[in-house]
Every structure is written in structure tokens, then in C-alpha cells.
Amino acid sequence: MTELVLDQTPFSKSLRGSTRDAHERAEQSRYMKALLGGELTLAGYTQLAIQYYFIYGAIEQVSDAMASDPVGRDFVFDELRRLPKLAEDLAFLVGPGWRSEIRPLPATEDYARRIVQTSQEWAGGYVAHHYTRYLGDIAGGQVIRRLLTRQYRLDGPGVFFYQFDGIGSAPAFRARYRDLLDAAPWDEAERGRVADEAVAAFECNIAVFDELAETMGRYRAA
């Protein structure tokens, strides 16, 4: 009986449930709390945008490979690509020489490696990483966008990363994305593996935030 109920739960819903604890820990991480509490300078936010450049570089590189995968191709959205947006943001936040100045943290390198390796093995792994970042940016990321606008008066370069102009209504896009998750041809075991990889993706983000927290003392707002 219980199994029947579990089977009927849409995957998008169980995925959200499986990642709830990790989401809470990501929100509560020291770096995120300091950022959203308005305790950091703009340079403190820039450190996160720099790490995103390497993380999205990995995801969008595997997106290209997924275009020919029978399952993965449903989760390739050109309108979501963040790398061009991040390039514009970093040119503004770091300066014209940004490409030669930015470095990934060790946790970011581990995260990017995991994205590439997992996705090469398996489309479900790609989807887990894709879901964790893009759905988060479209939903909760907007909280950070409002912070950047309010705190640093940014409303253009610097916050392009959070602008998803190509997707139409964000709630409608998220609903469509959940439908895709529910329709993916995965049995219960594979759904479990996708959920586990999504939790691992959250952990990778938390590890990056933890490393950012180590140096955030340099970026305390006065």
C-alpha cells in the first residue's frame, strides 16, 4: 500500500522533498547568511560570481554533449545559458582583464569535475546538476538579485546572471520543467539515483560557500 502511494508521487515532488534538508543547509550557510544579511561588500559577492563562472562552464559544456542524448536533450535549454551573462557581469565586477584574473576555489574544481564526470556517465546525473542550479537560480536566486539591486544599486551589468529574459513566465517555466522531470523514463531506482546526485550537487554548493566563508572577513561592509 505504502509503495503504491510512493509510486504515485510525481518525481518532481519527491526530488524536492529529498533535497529539502540540503537546501535548508545551503540557505543557512555562513556565506549565504552574510551575503543576504547585507554584511558583505560588492567584492564579497563578486567572489561567488567568479565561482559560478567555472560551475556553469562545466554544466554548459556537458549541455552541448547532451543535445544528442535521448533523455538529456529534453533538459538542454539555450535560453537558460548563464555563461554569456556571467562574462558580462564579471567584466563589470572584476574589470576588463577578468578572464586572466579569476581562479576557481578547490571546492569549485571538485564540483566542476563531478558535473562533467557524472554527466558523461549518465544523463540522469546531468539532470540532477541542471535542476539544482537552474531551478534554484530561477526561484531563490531572485532573492539574491533583489539584494544586489537594493544593496549595491545594480540593475544591469553585475546582475545579468539573475535575469532569465528568454523563458517567459518563471512560474510557468518551472511548471514545465517539473512536467519534464515527471515524464523522464526513470524507474524508482533510477529516480533515487537522480535524487542522490541532486543532494550531492547541493553538498558541492555548500562546500563552495564554506570555502568562500573562509575569506569573507576581507569583504565585510563597513
The neighbouring-strand residues paired with 40 are 220
66 class by beta-carbon count within 10 Å (0-12 exposed, 13-18 middle, 19+ buried): buried
Name the residue nearer to ligand HEM (CB basis): 23 or 82: 23
Q: Any idea what the Cα angle at residue 48 is, between residues 148 and 160, rounded to 5°?
A: 50
How many residues line the site for ligand HEM (CB under 6 A)?
A: 16
Per CB under 6 A, 62 contacts ligand HEM: no
Give dist(CA 130, CA 141) in Å, integer: 14
Establish how many alpha carbons lie within 13 A of residue 88's alpha carbon, considering only the half-sphere containing its beta carbon.
Answer: 13
Give dist(CA 201, CA 196) in Å, integer: 9
185 class by beta-carbon count within 10 Å (0-12 exposed, 13-18 middle, 19+ buried): exposed
Q: CB of residue 4 vs ligand HEM: minimum separation in angstroms?
A: 23
Among positions 24-53, residues that touch ligand HEM (CB under 6 A) are: 26-27, 32, 36
Name the residue nearer to ligand HEM (CB basis): 75 or 131: 131
Name the residue nearer to ligand HEM (CB basis): 145 or 193: 145
Name the residue nearer to ligand HEM (CB basis): 122 or 131: 131
Q: CB of residue 215 vs ligand HEM: minimum separation in angstroms?
A: 18
Binding mask 185-214 for ligand HEM (x = CB under 6 A): -----------------x--x---------
Count CB neighbours of 58 within 10 A.
21
Among positions 110-169, residues that touch ligand HEM (CB under 6 A) are: 131-133, 135-136, 139-140, 143
Under a CB-based contact definition with an 8 Å cutoff, are residues 90 and 53 in contact? yes
Name the residue nearer to ligand HEM (CB basis): 6 or 101: 6
Q: Closest by alpha carbon to 198, among 114, 139, 138?
A: 114
Q: CB of residue 137 vs ligand HEM: minimum separation in angstroms?
A: 8
**Residue ranges in contact with ligand HEM by CB under 6 A:** 16, 23, 26-27, 32, 36, 131-133, 135-136, 139-140, 143, 202, 205
